Structure formats: structure tokens, C-alpha cells
Amino acid sequence: MDRNIGITLCLMLKLCYQDHTMSETHCPARCHCFTPTRAICSEERMLTMPRNISQVRELVVMTTGLSYLDTNTFQENPRLAKLVFLNNLLREVSVRAFDPLPGLEELEISGNSWLERLYPGTFRKQVNLTRLLLNFNRFQTVTPGIFDSLQNLETLQLKGNLISHLPGLLFQNLTSLRSLDLSQNALTRVDRELLTGLTQLETLILGYNQITGLSPDSFHNVSQMRELYLDGNKISDLPHGIFSNLTKLEVLSLRGNLITNVSHRTFPFSLKELNLNNNKLSELSFNPFTSLTALTQLYLSSNRLHELPVDLLRNLTALQVVDLSDNQLTSLPEEIFMELSDIKVVHLHNNNLSSIKPRLFEHQVLLEQLYLSQNNLQNLPLGLLDYFLSENMIRLHGNPWNCDCNIQYMYDWMGENHRYVEDLSKMLCAGPVPLRGQSLASVHRDQLVCPMQRSPQPSHCTLHTDNDTLIIKCKVDKCSPLKLKVQLYEDDGRTAEYIFKNETSQCSNSTITV
Ligand SMILES: *[C@@H]1O[C@H](CO)[C@@H](O)[C@H](O)[C@H]1NC(C)=O
Ligand SMILES: *[C@@H]1O[C@H](CO)[C@@H](O)[C@H](O)[C@H]1NC(C)=O
Ligand SMILES: *[C@@H]1O[C@H](CO)[C@@H](O)[C@H](O)[C@H]1NC(C)=O
Ligand SMILES: *[C@@H]1O[C@H](CO)[C@@H](O)[C@H](O)[C@H]1NC(C)=O
Ligand SMILES: *[C@@H]1O[C@H](CO)[C@@H](O)[C@H](O)[C@H]1NC(C)=O
Ligand SMILES: *[C@@H]1O[C@H](CO)[C@@H](O)[C@H](O)[C@H]1NC(C)=O
Ligand SMILES: *[C@@H]1O[C@H](CO)[C@@H](O)[C@H](O)[C@H]1NC(C)=O
Ligand SMILES: *[C@@H]1O[C@H](CO)[C@@H](O)[C@H](O)[C@H]1NC(C)=O
Ligand SMILES: *[C@@H]1O[C@H](CO)[C@@H](O)[C@H](O)[C@H]1NC(C)=O
Ligand SMILES: *[C@@H]1O[C@H](CO)[C@@H](O)[C@H](O)[C@H]1NC(C)=O
Ligand SMILES: *[C@@H]1O[C@H](CO)[C@@H](O)[C@H](O)[C@H]1NC(C)=O
């Protein structure tokens, strides 16, 4: 193996404590020893295990041509505590191969695209094994009883195989197991029998399988669980009470499933992070999140939400992140965030919001990130952004901003806070016609005017020119307080201002002509 590769691997695998040249002399052929007890063997031409590595306690064998581990492979190496096979060509592992290694604590056999099975009894001597990683092989199932001797096992990974079925009670003796990763397989169901015995299990990763249904008691006997990942499956329904025994669950990810409805009391009160991104939720009535008072992160992005109930987030007083992006929301109840005074991140981008209520963020003084980009907003109401105490990043681009007098509040806010507006130059005016397509930041404040016929209401004014005279005719109601202000700018910046007002005390309908 090339020296530089050796050093790179040494850094990568954190195997190098001492001067890596020191112990080369003790090292088996075709291997590198970074210390007398740690070796990496990586050479495509290596077809058998290196001999004479009796000093070695930690051995990594990667990208070799090794295809069998037979009965004699480890006869001379009873001191091995950590053994890693990565990306080799293993086809078969003898049931006796690991018998000489009863002190083995960590074993990885991963990335063998020919390895289809391990025999029952393969790990029968490994009573002290704490980590067993069997990822990215070609297992379609796992033989019953193969893990029964591993009562000290804490981590088991079987990810990236082709497993569509696992025998019941497979993990029944794994009473020390804390983390189980079965992701990226082809499992279609998970039942209570499979998880039997995992009384200490804290993390269960079942992402990216084909799980369609879960039974109501699937997770009833794994009550120590803290993190449950079910992402990327085909779950459409969460049976009533499915999580009811998981009173310590803090992280639940159901991202990328087909869930259409979540109901009251589905989720355990202990939850801190709930991810429902990329499902098919179209309504959230029935207070599904009530009582999740510990929840800090709620992800509801990429669903089909059109509207939200006013009390959806009520009681979620610990919430810090809420992601409602990529839905079809057209408006939000003004009180929706009312009690969320700790909230730091609000994502509302990629919706269809056409207006926002002025006091929507009244209590969100600590907001750090507000994304309103890619909506249907024409302006922001007066005062909306005045509540924030901390500096926050805000995204506003991708809205059809109407750059008339009604946008002056937002324009002024941007002027003072432009450092915090991301993609400022992408904020374009969709109207009025003369400003269409221009970046709002490039428009002069004086250009943000409202057409006469629209203001002031309810009078009706018309504008026309006659020779050098501009004529404004306004129909005003009785006692209208209408004033006409005329500002004339000269090239040198001087301004002349004229105000016209009918001061007569008698109120009657009339036409003012300037
Ligand atoms: C095994 O390695 C030791 C040094 O660690 C050496 O003295 C001995 O000759 C080697 N034996 C074989 C069979 O290679
Ligand atoms: C297993 O670990 C225990 C405690 O560390 C130790 O006493 C025992 O000898 C180990 N067993 C084997 C077979 O190495
Ligand atoms: C499984 O665990 C039980 C005790 O919980 C033990 O009696 C049995 O021997 C274990 N099975 C194996 C194959 O070690
Ligand atoms: C579930 O756990 C209870 C008590 O912890 C036990 O009595 C029961 O047999 C277990 N059921 C299954 C299917 O594991
Ligand atoms: C789990 O739930 C079942 C049924 O709901 C119950 O009988 C059992 O006692 C619960 N187990 C634990 C450990 O909470
Ligand atoms: C959602 O669930 C609730 C009760 O859990 C039910 O009343 C409601 O009809 C469901 N909505 C849809 C659209 O299925
Ligand atoms: C908020 O929680 C209290 C109890 O903690 C409960 O009575 C109330 O119904 C909850 N509010 C909502 C809107 O769910
Ligand atoms: C956006 O909302 C408007 C009404 O405000 C509606 O007409 C339009 O169809 C919505 N667009 C989408 C893509 O939902
Ligand atoms: C406008 O100019 C035309 C001729 O240039 C004149 O006939 C007309 O009286 C003028 N109108 C007013 C309102 O001054
Ligand atoms: C004010 O309006 C009254 C009719 O209500 C009209 O007679 C009067 O001339 C107007 N004054 C001015 C200054 O236009
Ligand atoms: C003034 O106009 C309003 C409607 O524009 C009408 O309802 C009202 O009767 C009018 N008052 C007078 C004194 O003409």
C-alpha cells in the first residue's frame, strides 16, 4: 500500500496515535501498522488474511480480494478486539471463523456485494461483542438465533441489505442493545414479535424500507426508546395508540411517507422533535399536537395543507423551529403563533400566502429566521416586522411585490435591515406597470406611489392634461376631508409643495378642481 494512502487512511480511520513509521518492522506483509496493535491491510491482490499478526488488537481489512473467512483464519490472533472488513469480496464466512476470538468487542463485515448469508452459530463465542455492523451486504434475511449469544451487544446495524423479512424473536436475547439500524432494506412490516426482548433499545432506525402498515402494538415492548426513524416508507396510517408506550420518545421522524391524517393523542408527550415533512397531510384539525409541551421542532413541510386551525400550535410553548414550507397555505390565523415566545425559526416559503396579518409575529421577539419567499404577497402590513428584538435572517424574494405606496413600510424596514434580507436583489416588483421587473431595492422611495383612482377612498378622481395644465377632478362625498397635495420637484432637488382643501364649513357634495 502506498505510504500516502496509508497516512490518509490513518487519519480517516483515526488509527494513528503514534509515529506511524515506528512499527512498520513488526507489521505483517501488505499491511500498515500505525501502532504495534493497530493495523490496516488494503491491497487488491491480497487474497488471504495476513499471518503473524498476533500482536494486533485492532485490524482493518479493506478493498482486498479476500473472499472466504475459514476456520483457520484467526487461529493465531486471539488478541483481536476490533475487526473490520470493509468493501472486500467476501462470499462466505465459516461458522467457526470467529471461534478463536472470544474477546472480540467490535466486528464489522460491510460492503461485500456477494455475501448472502451468515450461518447460525457464527457469533456463538462473542459474548463480549458490543458493536456488530453488517451493512451493505446482500442478506435477504437473517437466520433465526444468530444473535442469541450477544447479550452484551449495544449496537447492531444491518442497513443497506436486501432484507424483506426477519424471523420473529430474532433479537430476543439482545437485552443490552441500545441502537438498531435496519434502514435501506425491503421490510414491509414491523411487529411486536420482532422487537421482543429489546428492553434497553433507545434508537431504532427503520428508514427507507417498504413498510406499509404498522400494527397498534408494534412498539409496545420497546418502552425505553428515545429516537424512532421511519422515514421514506409507505406508511399511510398511524394506528390509534401506536406510540402510547413510548413515554420517553424524543425524536420521531415520519418524513416521506403517505400519511393523510394525524389525530389527537397520536404522539407521545415526551416528543421534542417531530418530522412529518413530505407526507400527504391536507388538514390538521382535531388538535394532533395538543399537549406536546416539550416539542422544540415541528416539521410539516411538503404536505397539502391549505389552512391551519387557529389553535394548532397552542400549548407548544417550547417550540423553537416550525417548518410549514412547501404547502398551499393561502393565509394564516393571526393568533397561530400566539404563545410561542421561544420560537427562533419560522419557515413559510413556497406557499400561496397572499396576505399576512399585522400582528402575526407579535410575540416572536426572539425570531432568528423568517422565510416568506416564494409566496403570493404584494406587500407586508404596517408593523409586522417591528416586534423582533434579535437580529434575524429574512427571505422575501419570489413574491409579486406591488411597489406602490402600500409597500413603503416594508421598503423602509428593508432600508434599515438590508444586511438581514437574503437575496435582496431578487425581490422584484410585479407592479405597478412602470416598475414591473425592477428590483425593489433599486427603486427610489418617491416612486412608490399609488394611482389616483385608488386613493383616497371613497372619492373618485380623474386625471388629465390640457395643454400645460394637469387637471385632477375628484368627486367627493359630503363633508369629505379630502386634501390635495401637489409636490413639484426641480432638477436641483428643490421641492415646492401645495395643499388644496375646501375649508368651507357647509357640507355638500361637490367637485374640486385643481
Ligand atoms: C512473526 O513476527 C515476529 C515479529 O513480530 C517475527 O520475529 C517472526 O519471525 C514472524 N514469524 C513469521 C512466521 O513470520
Ligand atoms: C468479557 O469481558 C469481561 C469483562 O470485561 C472479561 O472479564 C471476560 O474475560 C471477557 N470474556 C472473554 C471471553 O474475553
Ligand atoms: C438467550 O438468553 C437466555 C437468557 O436470557 C439464555 O439462557 C440463553 O442461553 C441465550 N441463548 C443463547 C443462544 O445464548
Ligand atoms: C412485552 O413485555 C412484557 C413485560 O415487559 C412481557 O410480559 C411480554 O411477554 C412482552 N411481549 C412481547 C410480545 O414481547
Ligand atoms: C405496553 O402497552 C401494553 C398495552 O397497551 C401494556 O399492557 C404494557 O404494560 C405496556 N408495557 C410497558 C413496558 O409499558
Ligand atoms: C382525520 O381523523 C379524524 C379522527 O381521528 C377523523 O374524524 C377525520 O374524519 C379524519 N379526516 C380525514 C380527512 O380522514
Ligand atoms: C392546552 O393544554 C391544556 C392543559 O395543559 C389543555 O387543557 C388545553 O385544552 C390545551 N389547549 C389546546 C388548544 O389544546
Ligand atoms: C393560490 O391562491 C389563490 C387564491 O388566493 C388561488 O386562486 C390559487 O389557485 C392558489 N394557487 C395555488 C397554486 O394553490
Ligand atoms: C389649449 O390650447 C389651444 C390651442 O393651442 C386653445 O385653443 C385652448 O383654448 C387651450 N385650452 C386651455 C384650457 O387653455
Ligand atoms: C367649497 O365648496 C363649496 C360647495 O360646497 C363651494 O361653494 C366653494 O366655492 C368651495 N370652495 C373652494 C375654495 O373651492
Ligand atoms: C352626496 O353623495 C352621496 C353618495 O355619493 C349621496 O348618498 C348623498 O345623498 C349626497 N348628498 C347630497 C347632499 O347631495
Residue 268: inside a domain, yes or no? Answer: no
Say how many Å lie between the CA of residue 99 and the centre of ligand 2. Answer: 15
Say how many Å lie between the CA of residue 503 and the centre of ligand 3. Answer: 100
Residue nearest to atom 12 of ligand 2 (CA): 103
**Largest alpha-carbon pair distance within the chain?**
114
Cβ atoms 30, 1 nearer than 8 A = yes
Say how many Å lie between the CA of residue 196 and the centre of ligand 4. Answer: 7
Rounded CA-CA distance 249/82 in Å is 32
Closest ligand 2 atom to 125 CA: 13
* Residue from 396, 395, 401, 394 nearest 428 by CA: 401
Residue 495: inside a domain, yes or no? Answer: yes
* Residue from 360, 317, 320 nearest 344 by CA: 320
- Say if ligand 6 is within 6 A of residue 236 CB: no
Buried b / exposed e over 75-91, threshold 16 CB at 10 Å, is eebeebbbbbbbebbbe
Residue 136: inside a domain, yes or no? Answer: no
SS3 category, 161 = coil
Rounded CA-CA distance 271/319 in Å is 11
Residues in the chain: 514
Q: List Cα–Cα distances, 472 to 4, 128, 450, in angstroms.
A: 83, 93, 15
Say how many Å lie between the CA of residue 31 and the centre of ligand 9. Answer: 103
Rounded CA-CA distance 367/389 in Å is 8
Instruction: Tell me which long-range contacts 92-95 makes (C-beta under 8 A, separation of at least 24).
Output: 92/67, 92/68, 93/68, 93/69, 93/118, 93/119, 93/122, 94/68, 94/69, 94/70, 94/119, 95/119, 95/120, 95/121, 95/122
Say how many Å lie between the CA of residue 148 and the centre of ligand 2. Answer: 17
Rounded CA-CA distance 409/383 in Å is 8
Q: Which of 23, 48, 49, 52 to mutate to test the pocket of ligand 1 (most atoms within 8 A of CB)?
A: 52
Residue 498 has a pLDDT of 84
Residue 149: inside a domain, yes or no? Answer: no
Rounded CA-CA distance 444/431 in Å is 14
Rounded CA-CA distance 75/84 in Å is 17
Closest ligand 2 atom to 128 CA: 1
- Say if ligand 9 is within 6 A of residue 465 CB: no
Question: What are the φ and ψ backbone dihedral angles of 180, each rounded to 5 degrees?
Answer: -130, 125
Give the pLDDT confidence of 187-199 residue by residue, as tens digits.
999 988 999 999 9
Closest ligand 1 atom to 51 CA: 14
Rounded CA-CA distance 208/162 in Å is 12
Residue 380: inside a domain, yes or no? Answer: no
Residue 174 has a pLDDT of 96
Q: Which ligand is nearest to the CA of 513?
A: 10
How would you classify the pairing of strands 345-347 and 321-323? parallel
Residue 476: inside a domain, yes or no? Answer: yes
Rounded CA-CA distance 251/248 in Å is 9
For 153-212, where are the E strands, in sequence order? Answer: 155-157, 179-181, 189-190, 203-205
Question: What are the φ and ψ backbone dihedral angles of 450, each rounded to 5 degrees?
Answer: -105, 140
Which residue range forms the structural domain that includes residue 508?
Answer: 459-513
* Three cell numbers written together for 243: 406510540
Residues with CB under 6 A from ligand 5: 220, 223, 245
> How many distinct structural domains can be found in the chain?
1
In the 8-state DSSP scheme, what is residue 40? Answer: E
Per-residue pLDDT tens listing for the chain (514 residues):
444 444 455 455 544 444 444 445 567 778 888 888 888 988 888 888 877 777 889 999 999 988 999 888 888 777 889 999 999 999 999 999 999 999 999 999 999 999 999 999 999 999 999 999 999 999 999 999 999 999 999 999 999 999 999 998 999 999 999 999 999 999 999 988 999 999 999 999 999 999 997 889 999 999 999 999 999 999 999 998 999 999 999 999 999 999 999 988 899 999 999 999 999 999 998 889 988 999 999 999 999 999 999 999 999 999 999 999 999 999 999 999 998 999 999 999 999 999 999 999 998 988 999 999 999 999 999 889 888 877 788 999 999 999 988 898 999 999 888 888 999 899 999 988 888 899 999 988 888 887 664 444 545 677 777 777 877 777 766 666 677 878 777 767 677 888 887 665 455 555 555 4
Rounded CA-CA distance 423/321 in Å is 22
Residue nearest to atom 13 of ligand 6 (CA): 261
Distance of alpha carbon 50 from its chain centroid, rounded?
44
- Say if ligand 2 is within 6 A of residue 78 CB: no
Rounded CA-CA distance 497/424 in Å is 33
* Residue from 246, 184, 160, 187 nearest 170 by CA: 187
- Say if ligand 6 is within 6 A of residue 286 CB: yes
Residues with CB under 6 A from ligand 3: 148-149, 173
Residue 472: inside a domain, yes or no? Answer: yes
SS3 category, 219 = coil
Residue 146: inside a domain, yes or no? Answer: no
Give the pLDDT confidence of 11-48 residue by residue, as tens digits.
555 444 444 444 455 677 788 888 888 889 888 888 88
Rounded CA-CA distance 182/205 in Å is 6
Sign of CA dihedral 327, 350, 313, 272: positive
Cβ atoms 291, 312 nearer than 8 A = no
* Residue from 304, 405, 423, 283 nearest 352 by CA: 304
Residue 32 has a pLDDT of 86
